[in-house]
Amino acid sequence: MAGLRITNCHVHCFTSRHVPSLFPHPLLWPFVKIPYLVRLLAFLFRLIGQHPLAATLDRLFRFQQEASEIRQERILAKLVPQYPPGTRFVLLPMDLRSTGIGRIAAGLPAQHDELARLAASPAFKNRALPFATLDPREPGAVDEARRAIEDLGFHGLKLYPRLGYPPDHEALMRDVYPLLVERNLPVMTHCSRGGVSGRGVSSARGDRYCSPGALVPVLQEFPTLRVCLAHFGGETDWRSYVEEGTPPDMQVDLADPACNWQVAIRHMITCGQFPGIWTDISYTLFHFEDYAPFLKVFLENETLAARVLFGSDYYMTRQKALSERAVCIRLRVMLGEERFRRIAETNPEIWLGERPAPG
């Protein structure tokens, strides 16, 4: 289709230098340090005939190869050929200090600086859109986020509350959200169950901080702030929605983190009380066959169609069977050009504050 400019709103390119040395878990450390152990294991599984696990291990190896790149630019360079020329990528850093699982070779300011250099380089100019990140509990966190936004010209803020802070943490409410509102910049926040959490943070507490309801105080105090709940609530809640269904008399209780997050997000978008809420389809929709038909039906709702963003969660998707290109084109065919353009071009530009919302 002529003139389509895709913006992939959810991409990671941080490297092993930006994550703690024992990431993702001390027990997996030998596999991280010696990725060929994964290869060997895959080979052994093939020998004894357990093919599905062997394929999973192959994908884990691919993922590790990605993370072990020394420069973020190299990771991004592998993603670019999967998309049409001119596609833009929102780059989301991570500050994993509070996981407490080892030393980080290049701290957050270095990670931000590298993203700024990458975005200014001829290969990625106007195509790489870096976001700042912060853990509001870390000393100097607000100043570093401000530096990335004001001095480096970053395009928004990424939050990962599972590390152990609520999205209405006082430093965010007092210093950070007002800055974003003033500069018309958006927030991307992790919204799926499970995943890495901070040291001493139980999975239940991490889930509570990431739940859609945790954003209510933020959306109420800053109604013009655009907040994207990443992953459309996540795979677990999509699976339970698809396989177990939902009770006919189900009420969405945003105060209850156990309520289905996919349903909660659709409710928050369509109820009209939260004009600032958005969601992206990253990672979750890589279970393409299972979930894409549901997405297509959901997007028949005009209000919802105006708040869904295309994103992939590269390079987390390297653990999936389908490539980015394969998912992207399947999605485009299934949704049709008009709906695909909406989530991949129009909506991202509105969310990023580059064009006004219609109406």
- Cβ 190 to Zn ion shortest distance, Å: 7
DSSP of 7-44, one letter per residue? EEEEE----GGGS-TT-S-GGGHHHHH-THHHHHHHHH
**CB contact burial 139-178 (16+ within 10 A = b; e otherwise):** eebbebbebbbeebebbbbbbbbbbbbbbbbebbbeebbe
82 touches 1 (CB < 8 A): no
- Cβ 43 to Zn ion shortest distance, Å: 30
Dihedral (C-alpha) 168, 171, 173, 175: value to the nearest 10 degrees?
-160
Minimal CB distance residue for Zn ion = 313
Q: How far apart are CA 311 and CA 206, in angstroms?
A: 23
- Cβ 189 to Zn ion shortest distance, Å: 10
Q: How far apart are CA 97 and CA 87, in angstroms?
A: 32
Centroid of chain to Cα 28: 23
Note the residues at the interface with Zn ion (CB under 5 A): 313
Question: Nearer to Zn ion by C-beta: 241 or 286?
Answer: 286
Residues 6+ apart with CB under 8 A from 120: none
Strands 132-133, 157-159: pairing is parallel
Closest CA to 117 of 73, 156, 147: 73
- Cβ 187 to Zn ion shortest distance, Å: 14
Task: Give Cα separations from 111 to 57, 108, 134, 315 (angstroms).
Answer: 29, 5, 12, 17
234 touches 189 (CB < 8 A): no
Residues 6+ apart with CB under 8 A from 53: 42, 45
Both tokens of 195, joined, read 């995943």
Peptide bond into 315 cis (omega under 30): yes
186 touches 352 (CB < 8 A): yes
- Cβ 10 to Zn ion shortest distance, Å: 6
Query: What is the identity of the amino acid at 88?
Result: R
Q: How far apart are CA 101 and CA 44, in angstroms?
A: 29
- Cβ 234 to Zn ion shortest distance, Å: 11
Question: Nearer to Zn ion by C-beta: 87 or 133?
Answer: 133
- Cβ 119 to Zn ion shortest distance, Å: 18
Count of Cβ atoms closer than 10 Å to residue 36 Cβ: 11
Question: Nearer to Zn ion by C-beta: 95 or 313?
Answer: 313
Both tokens of 233, joined, read 């609530």
Question: Nearer to Zn ion by C-beta: 160 or 165?
Answer: 160
- Cβ 305 to Zn ion shortest distance, Å: 23
- Cβ 249 to Zn ion shortest distance, Å: 34
Question: Nearer to Zn ion by C-beta: 141 or 229?
Answer: 229
